[in-house]
C-alpha cells in the first residue's frame, strides 16, 4: 500500500475518533504522534467536503513565475500537429527551430519535449538501439563522398515505382531524387550527371551492392563504374547485408516516405516526381538537421570548400572481344547505346563464326580460326578504297555508352566528345591515339598481347591499302549504321 493511501486512512481514522467517538484532539494527537493543528485541518476539510476532501492534495505550486506560459504551450502543440500532418519530423529540435521564427523567448528542447509528453503525444520506444552503440563517420568536406540508393514506392493504382536518391555525406544535401518504373544502369548515370551539373564532381561515391551500382561481385563493370573510372571518382560499396554503412541515405528514405505518406497518392510518375521535387526543396532549404547543429543542408554545404576527384577525367577506350555468328543476311548485330546496329559482312560469310575486336567505335572483324580480316561485301566495293565516314555515336557531353543525355550546362573538367550522335567523322584521326592506347594496354598487362597485337594490326593499316600479310583488303573498322528497326 502506498504512502498516500496510508495517509488517507490515518486521516479518516483521526476524523472518526474526534467527530464520531468524541475523543479529544490532544489525546488522538499524542496517541498517533501527529500535531493538533493537523487534526483540526482534517476536521475542517471533512466538514467542508466529506471524506473525499481527506485525500492527499497535489503539492504543485499554484503559480510559477518562470514556468512556460500557456500561449507558448499552445503554440508548441499547434506547431507539432502541423508538422505531423504534413509528414515532416516533429521532434523537439524541429519544433524549436520553427518556433524561433514566431516568438522571441523559445523554451529549451527538454521543455518542448516534455510538453507533448504530458499530452500523451509521444509514444515511448525503448526497443530502439541506443545512439551510443553506433559508429559514426562523416566526410570532412562537401563533395568528398556522395551516397546513393534506391527505394520503392507504390502509386495510387497499385503499380510499384522506384526512387533513386543521392545525398552528400558531409552536409546531407539532397542532391537528386528521381522516380522511375524500374531503375536501370543508364538511369543511374543520367541522374548522377544531373547532380554533378549542379554541384560539381565528387571525390567518391558510396553505394550498396545493387546490380545497377556495381558488378564487382560478378567480376564485371556496370555503366556507373565505367563512368566513375573515366571521371577519376573513387567507387565505394558497403559490406553485403550491412545497410548501416549507408545509414545517412537509409535514414533519408524514412523521412521521405513519411512525407509521401501524408500526401495524396500519386497517380503517375510525373505526379510522384512533383512531390519529390517539393520535398527536396523543403529538405535542403527549410528543414533543420540535428546532425548539423540546426543548420539546413544547403547552409552546411555552402559553408566550406568543396572536395574534388583525386585524378582528372580521362577519355578512356573500352576494349572487349565478342564472339558471334553471321546471320542469314550476312550481317552481325551489335548493341551500341542500348540500340541494335547491323554490321554488314556479306552473304558469302553467312552462318560463319566471327570474332569482333571492339575498341569503342573501331570494330575489326576477324575469322577466329585463321585470324584473317573479313573483306567487305561485294555489294559495297567502295568501302575499302573510299570508305564512308562512320557514324560517331558518342554522346555530345560525355563518352559514356548506353546512356541518354540531357543538354545542360557542363561542369568544369568534363570535355565533350569529338562529335554528336548525327555527326560524321573521319576514321583517320582515331588511328594514332588508338595505337598508343593499345601499346599502353599491352605494356600494362602482358596477357593481352595477342588481342592488342591484332587490334594494332587493324588500326595501323592505312585505309584503302591491302595488308602485306593478307591476300584481301582488311575490314579495318565496321561501319555502324542506323539502328535496327523494331
3-state secondary structure the chain: CCHHHHHHHHHHHHHHHHHHCCCCHHHHHHHHCCCHHHHHHHHHHHHHHHHHHHCCCCCCCCCCCCCCCHHHHHHHHHHHHHHHHCCCCCCHHHHHHHHCCCCCCCCCHHHHHHHHHHCCCCCCCCCCCCHHHCCCCCCCCCCCCEEEEEEEEECCCCCEEEEEEEEECCCCCEEEEEEECCCCHHHHHHHHHHHHHHHCCCCEEEECCCCCCCCHHHCCCCHHHHHHHHHCCEEEECCCCCHHHHHHHHHHHHHHHHHHHCCCCCCCHHHHHHHHHHHHHHHHHCCCCHHHCCCCHHHHHHCCCCCCCCCCCCCCCCEEEEEEECCCCCEEEEEECCEEEEEECCHHHCCCEEEEEEECCECCEECCCCCCECCCCCCCCHHHHCCCCEECCCCCCCCCCCCCCCCCCCCCCCCCCCCCCCCEECCHHHHHHHHHHHHHHHHHCHHHHHHHHHHHHHHHCCCCCCCCCCCCCCCCCCCCCCECCC
Summarize the confidence of residues 413-423 as an average pLDDT.
Answer: 39
Same domain, 298 and 154: yes
C-alpha distance from residue 334 to each of 344, 365, 452 (Å)? 11, 12, 21
The pLDDT value recorded for residue 469 is 37
**Among 45-54, 277-286, 464-473, which stretch is predicted with the lowest mean pLDDT?**
464-473
- Structural domain includes residue 484: no
Same domain, 386 and 349: yes
- Structural domain includes residue 205: yes
Instruction: Tell me which residue range forms the domain holding 117.
Output: 70-122
User: Which residues touch 30 (CB under 8 Å, ≥6 apart)?
Assistant: none
Sign of CA dihedral 388, 394, 395, 396: negative
Which residue carries 512531390 as its cell?
A: 275
Summarize the confidence of residues 199-208 as an average pLDDT.
Answer: 94
Which residue carries 507539432 as its cell?
A: 80
Same domain, 269 and 361: no
| Parallel, antiparallel or unpaired: strands 204-207 and 146-154 | parallel
- Structural domain includes residue 89: yes
pLDDT at 150 over 90: yes
Same domain, 77 and 165: no
Same domain, 90 and 46: no
Question: What is the rounded distance in angstroms from the CA atom of residue 130 to the CA atom of residue 149?
Answer: 25
Q: How many domains does the chain have?
A: 4
51 — phi, psi (to 5°)? -65, -30
Best CA proximity match to 227, nearest among 243, 213, 241, 239? 213
pLDDT at 468 over 70: no
Summarize the confidence of residues 283-297 as an average pLDDT.
Answer: 86
**CB-based contact 457:485 (threshold 8 Å):** no
Same domain, 324 and 225: no
Same domain, 159 and 296: yes
Same domain, 326 and 407: yes
Q: How confident is the model at residue 358 (pLDDT cuts 50, 70, 90)?
A: confident
- Structural domain includes residue 259: yes
Q: How confident is the model at residue 319 (pLDDT cuts 50, 70, 90)?
A: low
Q: How confident is the model at residue 273 (pLDDT cuts 50, 70, 90)?
A: very high
The pLDDT value recorded for residue 442 is 52
pLDDT over 90, % of the chain: 28
pLDDT at 143 over 90: yes
Pick from 111-115, 271-275, 362-366 the range whose average pLDDT is largest: 271-275
Same domain, 205 and 230: yes
Same domain, 298 and 329: no
The pLDDT value recorded for residue 166 is 97
The pLDDT value recorded for residue 416 is 39
- Structural domain includes residue 166: yes
- Structural domain includes residue 476: no
Same domain, 250 and 154: yes
The pLDDT value recorded for residue 189 is 94
CA angle 195, 178, 283 (to 5 degrees): 75
- Structural domain includes residue 247: yes
Summarize the confidence of residues 111-119 as an average pLDDT.
Answer: 87
pLDDT at 165 over 90: yes
The pLDDT value recorded for residue 58 is 79
- Domain termination residue (choose one: 240, 271, 302): 302
Q: How confident is the model at residue 5 (pLDDT cuts 50, 70, 90)?
A: low
Q: Is the pTM of this model over 0.85?
A: no
Pick from 365-369, 389-393, 415-419 the range whose average pLDDT is largest: 365-369
- Structural domain includes residue 473: no
**Among 56-60, 159-163, 185-189, 430-434, which stretch is predicted with the lowest mean pLDDT?**
430-434
User: Which residues touch 75 (CB under 8 Å, ≥6 apart)?
Assistant: 99, 102, 103
Q: How confident is the model at residue 427 (pLDDT cuts 50, 70, 90)?
A: very low
The pLDDT value recorded for residue 483 is 44
Same domain, 292 and 365: no
481 — phi, psi (to 5°)? -95, -150
CATH code of residue 183:
3.30.420.10
pLDDT over 70, % of the chain: 71
Q: Which residue has the higher pLDDT, 384 or 436?
A: 436
Amino acid at each position: 500500500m502506498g504512502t498516500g493511501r496510508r495517509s488517507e486512512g490515518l486521516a479518516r481514522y483521526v476524523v472518526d475518533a474526534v467527530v464520531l467517538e468524541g475523543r479529544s484532539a490532544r489525546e488522538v494527537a499524542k496517541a498517533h504522534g501527529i500535531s493538533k493543528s493537523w487534526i483540526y485541518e482534517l476536521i475542517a476539510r471533512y466538514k467542508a467536503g466529506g471524506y473525499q476532501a481527506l485525500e492527499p492534495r497535489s503539492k504543485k505550486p499554484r503559480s510559477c513565475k518562470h514556468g512556460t506560459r500557456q500561449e507558448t504551450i499552445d503554440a508548441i502543440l499547434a506547431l507539432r500537429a502541423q508538422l505531423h500532418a504534413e509528414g515532416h519530423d516533429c521532434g523537439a529540435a524541429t519544433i524549436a527551430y520553427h518556433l524561433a521564427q514566431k516568438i522571441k523567448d523559445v523554451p529549451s528542447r527538454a521543455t518542448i519535449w516534455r510538453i507533448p509528453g504530458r499530452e500523451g503525444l509521444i509514444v515511448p520506444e525503448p526497443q530502439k538501439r541506443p545512439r551510443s552503440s553506433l559508429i559514426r563517420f562523416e566526410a570532412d568536406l562537401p563533395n568528398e563522398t556522395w551516397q546513393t540508393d534506391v527505394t520503392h514506392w507504390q502509386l495510387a493504382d497499385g503499380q510499384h515505382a522506384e526512387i533513386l536518391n543521392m545525398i552528400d555525406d558531409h552536409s546531407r544535401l539532397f542532391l537528386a531524387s528521381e522516380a522511375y518504373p524500374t531503375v536501370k544502369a543508364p538511369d543511374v548515370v543520367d541522374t548522377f550527371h544531373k547532380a554533378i551539373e549542379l554541384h560539381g564532381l565528387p571525390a567518391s561515391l558510396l553505394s550498396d551492392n545493387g546490380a545497377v551500382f556495381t558488378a564487382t561481385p560478378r567480376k564485371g563493370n556496370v555503366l556507373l563504374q565505367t563512368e566513375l573510372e573515366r571521371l577519376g571518382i573513387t567507387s565505394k560499396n558497403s559490406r553485403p547485408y550491412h545497410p548501416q554503412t549507408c545509414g545517412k541515405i537509409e535514414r533519408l528514405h524514412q523521412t521521405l516516405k513519411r512525407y509521401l505518406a501524408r500526401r495524396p497518392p500519386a497517380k503517375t510518375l510525373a505526379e510522384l516526381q512533383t512531390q519529390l521535387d517539393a520535398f527536396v526543396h523543403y529538405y535542403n532549404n527549410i528543414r533543420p538537421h540535428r546532425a548539423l547543429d540546426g543548420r539546413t543542408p544547403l547552409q552546411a554545404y555552402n559553408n566550406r570548400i568543396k572536395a574534388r576527384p583525386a585524378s582528372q577525367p580521362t577519355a578512356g577506350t573500352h576494349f572487349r572481344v565478342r564472339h558471334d555468328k553471321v546471320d542469314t543476311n550476312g550481317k552481325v548485330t551489335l548493341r551500341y547505346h542500348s540500340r541494335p546496329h547491323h554490321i554488314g559482312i556479306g552473304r558469302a560469310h553467312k552462318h560463319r563464326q566471327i570474332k569482333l575486336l571492339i575498341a569503342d567505335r573501331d570494330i575489326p572483324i576477324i575469322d577466329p580460326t585463321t585470324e584473317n580480316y573479313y573483306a567487305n561485301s561485294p555489294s559495297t566495293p567502295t568501302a575499302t578504297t573510299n570508305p564512308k565516314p562512320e557514324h560517331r555515336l558518342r554522346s555530345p557531353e560525355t563518352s559514356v555508352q548506353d546512356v541518354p543525355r540531357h543538354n545542360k550546362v557542363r561542369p568544369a573538367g568534363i570535355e565533350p566528345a569529338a562529335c554528336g550522335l548525327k555527326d560524321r567523322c573521319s576514321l583517320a584521326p582515331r588511328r594514332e591515339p588508338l595505337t598508343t592506347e593499345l601499346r599502353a594496354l599491352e605494356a600494362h598487362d602482358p596477357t593481352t598481347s595477342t588481342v592488342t597485337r591484332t587490334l594494332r594490326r587493324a588500326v595501323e593499316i592505312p585505309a584503302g591499302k591491302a595488308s602485306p600479310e593478307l591476300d584481301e583488303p582488311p575490314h579495318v573498322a565496321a561501319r555502324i549504321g542506323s539502328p535496327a528497326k523494331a
